Structure 1
Amino acid sequence: MAPNFHQLHIFYMVAEKGSFSGAAQALRMTQPAVTMQIQSLEDYYGTKMFNRTTKKMELTEAGKALLPFARRSMELMKETESSMAKFAHTLEGRLQLGASLTVGEYILPRLLGPFGQEYPNISVRMKVMNTQQIVEEILSHQLNFGLVEAPVKHPDVHTEKVLNDELLLILPAGHPLADQQTITLKDALSYPFVLREQGSGTRQVMEEAFKRQGVQSESIRIGMELGSTGAVKSAVEANLGLSILSPSSVKHEVALGLLIVKRIEGMTFHRSFYSVYLKSALLPISALTFLSFIRERDLSQYL
């Protein structure tokens, strides 16, 4: 029989990993099953695809010729599944993903509701953890994909921008700046700030925007550094300082009249959220459907 996509996928993974055992682990197959599929491919073409030695496995000339076709078949299958995902309204299955802290606590919960209404037969399992942990679990095949607040630089991981967000100035109710129609950067910097810890994506966006206005991080009066957005909100509410946060994260407090959201004149604080997954993996249709949902819909009504 002519080679099928499954065999080309296995061949591609063996070439990428450099071993049958590495490909078997990545594909969640047994090593004998991987070996059998490669042998079947070699039998069909009547030539060896790999030179096997005790130290490593290298592509033969025939294997090198086949590799770009296998890669193209992978890319075509990914494009096909991504295109078809938007039509899968009766889809069943489980959506398994990781989300970094801000995404998992404040963004995704508001999107999973409308997604669940449209795809009621897809159950969701979400882990909220930091980006490094998400990447580690993707690499070890414990997670299909993740949503994070910054691009991931790893040779085996694909990063794609899927959502945009804007941060704004957060004030406690009754603050002297609350009634001002226009708040300048000078106005805001005359008060202490309550910020996330160094390395936080939210803080990085704020500091970069300030630097574009000629304000260095050292000149910001930091009243407090806290390890979670929830703690930052509580500190601002207690009038311990101002902050720069996503309006999505303070929606509840604003509705209760505890916090106020304002713009700083002439400044924008934009950031993006990214999907991350293995370059060599084919995402399950449930994951492709969800990524298609958040890429192509107007989600502003939920956030």
Structure 2
Amino acid sequence: MALNFHQLHIFYTVAERGSFSAAAQALHMTQPAVTMQVQSLEDYFGTKLLLRSTKRIELTEAGRTLMPYAQKSIELIRDTDQAMASYTKQLKGKLQLGSSLTIGEYILPRLLGPFGQEYPHIAISMKVMNTTQIIEEILNHQLNFGLIEAPVSHPDMHIEPVMKDELVLIAPTNHPLAGKSDVTFEQAMEYPFVLREQGSGTRLVMEEQLRLQSIDPAQMKIVMELGSTGAVKSAVEAGFGLSVISSSSIKHEVALGLIRVIPLSNIVFKRYFYSIYLKSSLLPISAVSFLSFLRERDLEQWL
């Protein structure tokens, strides 16, 4: 019997998940099939790798020794898929991903067309939802991966920056700051603000950058908190206040003269968009190809 990657992947997933049943669910296998593959791996090495108990699986000393090698094998397969993704033009199948609001509403619609021209046989299914929902659906294997606006910490998730973005200060066209070019954020804070809700990726990035500049976000005059980027733009256009929002989401309104971008002299809101997926799972080659497309192409030509 030869050692194979499939068995290493199953062993790693059982160890990470802590039970054969949880690993079987994650791998879309039956529990007896998972058990059989681990037993085959133990037969190959001639030693026990896992200690079975009624509560939780524990690694033997041999199992602890094998774990980093199993992890490296998974990472090697991922790297191989990524390296070969640009050559697999005849891919077929369905790509299921989740996306947070700004990315799903304003970024990806402009990129799916060019991606579809390169990979015409991949059907993409995208759900626009908040980060918590994306994580839940990935954990439940309803999505291959997600794209989110702010990094999160989760023990089961791999997080990676894949795209750059910038937040800008926007104002109604008749605002006193409209047309000025040397505005500080402290000056802007003298006026009312309309912002995304607490916990949104845009809000988190803005508040983090302000604190890094020793500016307290709690001092902002927030008159309205809204649950979507579109609602924020409409409120600014109607004159309710200033806002900080993704530059990618306002190109249409700025071109039509509906809102104004105010250059800030003392702060820049740079950020990344992140991919998120399970550490223990291997992405389908369609998902790898899409992530490689985001990393390697000059996206500005479409945005």
- Normalised by the shorter chain, which TM-score bucket? over 0.9
Return closer, same or farther for 1:257/1:58 CA change in 2, 3 Å cut-off.
same
Q: Distance in 2 between matches of 1:187 and 1:51?
A: 63
Per-residue CA distance 1:29-81 (angstroms, 9 max, x = gap): 00111122222223333333333334443333433333332222112111111
CA contact (8 A) 2:181 2:263 kept: no
TM-score normalized with structure 1 length: 0.93
CA contact (8 A) 2:193 2:224 kept: yes
Indicate whether 1:245 and 2:245 are aligned.
Answer: yes
Deviation of 1:186 (Å): 4.7
Indicate whether 1:35 and 2:35 are aligned.
Answer: yes
Equivalent residue runs for 1:55-134 within 5 Å: 55-134=55-134
Equivalent residue runs for 1:247-266 within 5 Å: 247-266=247-266
Deviation of 1:222 (Å): 2.0
Three-state SS of the structure 1 residue aligned to 2:97 is strand
TM-score normalized with structure 2 length: 0.93
Q: Distance in 2 between matches of 1:14 and 1:28?
A: 13
Aligned to 1:289: 289
Counterpart residue type for residue 250 of structure 2? V
Per-residue CA distance 1:72-96 (angstroms, 9 max, x = gap): 2112111111111122222222111
Q: Distance in 2 between matches of 1:138 and 1:218?
A: 34
Q: Distance in 1 between matches of 2:30 and 2:50?
A: 19
Which has the larger displacement, 38-47 or 142-151?
Answer: 38-47
Q: Distance in 1 between matches of 2:13 and 2:187?
A: 57
CA contact (8 A) 2:179 2:262 kept: no
Return closer, same or farther for 1:188/1:74 CA change in 2, 3 Å cut-off.
same
Counterpart residue type for residue 92 of structure 1? K
Counterpart residue type for residue 291 of structure 1? L
Aligned to 2:207: 207
Which has the larger displacement, 192-201 or 46-55?
Answer: 46-55
Aligned to 1:300: 300
Counterpart residue type for residue 147 of structure 1? L
> Which structure 1 segments of 5+ residues have no match?
none
Which has the larger displacement, 211-220 or 234-243?
Answer: 211-220
CA contact (8 A) 2:102 2:246 kept: no
Aligned to 2:164: 164
Identity %: 67
Per-residue CA distance 1:79-116 (angstroms, 9 max, x = gap): 11111112222222211111111111112111212111
Deviation of 1:234 (Å): 0.5
Deviation of 1:206 (Å): 2.5
CA contact (8 A) 2:95 2:287 kept: yes
Q: Distance in 2 between matches of 1:176 and 1:119?
A: 48
Counterpart residue type for residue 227 of structure 2? G
Three-state SS of the structure 2 residue aligned to 1:179 is coil
Deviation of 1:214 (Å): 4.1
Q: Distance in 2 between matches of 1:288 and 1:103?
A: 18
Aligned to 1:278: 278
Deviation of 1:245 (Å): 0.9
Which has the larger displacement, 185-194 or 235-244?
Answer: 185-194
Three-state SS of the structure 2 residue aligned to 1:244 is strand
Return closer, same or farther for 1:240/1:9 CA change in 2, 3 Å cut-off.
same
RMSD: 1.9
Q: Distance in 2 between matches of 1:214 and 1:16?
A: 41
Deviation of 1:254 (Å): 1.6
Counterpart residue type for residue 294 of structure 2? I
Aligned to 1:22: 22
Q: Distance in 2 between matches of 1:197 and 1:234?
A: 15
Q: Distance in 2 between matches of 1:186 and 1:38?
A: 61
Which has the larger displacement, 61-70 or 232-241?
Answer: 61-70
Which has the larger displacement, 38-47 or 68-77?
Answer: 38-47
CA contact (8 A) 2:209 2:269 kept: yes
CA contact (8 A) 2:169 2:261 kept: yes
Per-residue CA distance 1:172-204 (angstroms, 9 max, x = gap): 224333333433335423322111122222223
Return closer, same or farther for 1:166/1:49 CA change in 2, 3 Å cut-off.
same
Which has the larger displacement, 230-239 or 182-191?
Answer: 182-191
Q: Distance in 2 between matches of 1:210 and 1:17?
A: 39
Counterpart residue type for residue 258 of structure 2? L
Aligned to 2:138: 138
Matched pairs, number: 303
